[in-house]
Chains A and B, each alone.
Chain A
């Protein structure tokens, strides 16, 4: 209760993750409807809304679990630069640790690689985050 009240107390109109549902509700369901040349069926939009609602729920769950790749996106955060170094560090250590089957280790996808990353991370972030970052290669 207090958590929600707190967030609203700031009265910031800007979008935050917490009020994405409100933005959705307005952008998808409200606004003036003028016949366009390319018609997206309202029914479709309904389905999309539901799908996105489920997506939001999963994002929130992920966030609570400490998976927050969107906060470490290079375009969104200065922490990304730091992350890049951690990532590089991790790759180098992996190469050192696994000289022979290096091919496999180069493509970490699951728990083992992620937990290695976790140990290397100075902030000791949850492994889930490292996995999430894996899917968004930093160029």
Chain B
């Protein structure tokens, strides 16, 4: 009696938002660890559902997040946890993934801010409904093609040179030959990339060319020449994957297909342009 019971709990926790959807069955969420281990749950707003998790207020400032994400192991954990929740939500219907570390100082603040963007969410949900994202990467042809062409240049270059400067000339020819071959294979790869992109766009609702990934990241010795994202009707998945397979056969290029992804690349404003 003497203890005053607060009707509204003090805002001791910040709110992390994973995704927004039209509806999600809350029963499926608490099994997910999320970022902090607190229950992953639904925050309703404006006829939509945000999927959120509480973050202790002490951890919810810019500095501690920057610190947290500076630790590669922790960053990987957060990225995977975020992705896992997004996938779980998207498995039940169209979902808009939020960028990593979208944080509000309280649940009420989250509701307000998300509510202010409700129209945007509805637009994106309409766009991604019944569609999935496929990633297609094309790589420049292998080093073997380059060295073969290089060897060809050497054999033609050596007999042509005068005997006195034969070795030097041969060396130069070899270097030039290698460079030429490399350039040619690069040009061929770029053409393949254009061809693949044009064909796959034809099967997609929207397409984007993402930043090319560095060799250090791909771990592949070949240069990446296309990193495309395609928003494809679920019903056209088979046609899309067949098209990729036939491109592989026809061009002999190394083409990687990944997906189906939750349409991350088509959730933002730049995805809205469609770039058909």
Contact flags A1-44 to B (C-beta < 8 A → 1, else 0): 10011001001011100011111111111111111111110001
Give the CA-CA distance A26 to B271 in the complex, in Å: 12
Do the beta carbons of A32 and B220 come within 8 Å of each other? Answer: no
Enumerate chain B residues within 8 angstroms of A27, measured Cβ to Cβ: 79, 82-83, 86, 97, 99-100, 264
Contact A22:B258 (CB < 8 A) given known A30-B265, A36-B113: yes
Enumerate chain A residues within 8 angstroms of B60, measured Cβ to Cβ: 38
How far, in Å, is A40 (CB) from chain B's closest CB? 5
Give the CA-CA distance A15 to B261 in the complex, in Å: 10
Q: Is B254 an interface residue (CB 8 A)?
A: yes
Q: Is B171 an interface residue (CB 8 A)?
A: no
Enumerate chain A residues within 8 angstroms of B65, measured Cβ to Cβ: 38, 40
Contact flags B93-124 to A (C-beta < 8 A → 1, else 0): 00011111111110001000110010011001
Enumerate chain A residues within 8 angstroms of B84, measured Cβ to Cβ: 15
Enumerate chain A residues within 8 angstroms of B102, measured Cβ to Cβ: 33-34, 36
Give the CA-CA distance A34 to B14 in the complex, in Å: 16
How far, in Å, is A121 (CB) from chain B's closest CB? 25
Interface residues of A in 34-91 (CB under 8 A from B): 34-40, 44-45, 48, 51-57, 60
Do the beta carbons of A38 and B117 come within 8 Å of each other? Answer: no
Do the beta carbons of B80 and A15 come within 8 Å of each other? Answer: yes
Within the complex, which residue of A4, A29, A48 is in contact with B254, where a contact is CB–CB below 8 Å? A4
How far, in Å, is A9 (CB) from chain B's closest CB? 8
Enumerate chain A residues within 8 angstroms of B69, measured Cβ to Cβ: 40, 44-45, 48
Give the CA-CA distance A57 to B213 in the complex, in Å: 13
Contact A11:B259 (CB < 8 A) given known A37-B105, A40-B62: yes
Residues of A within 8 A of B (CB): 1, 4-5, 8, 11, 13-15, 19-40, 44-45, 48, 51-57, 60
- Supply 7 further A-B pairs (C-beta < 8 A) apart from A36-B113, A55-B72: A19-B258, A26-B83, A29-B210, A29-B211, A36-B102, A38-B62, A54-B72
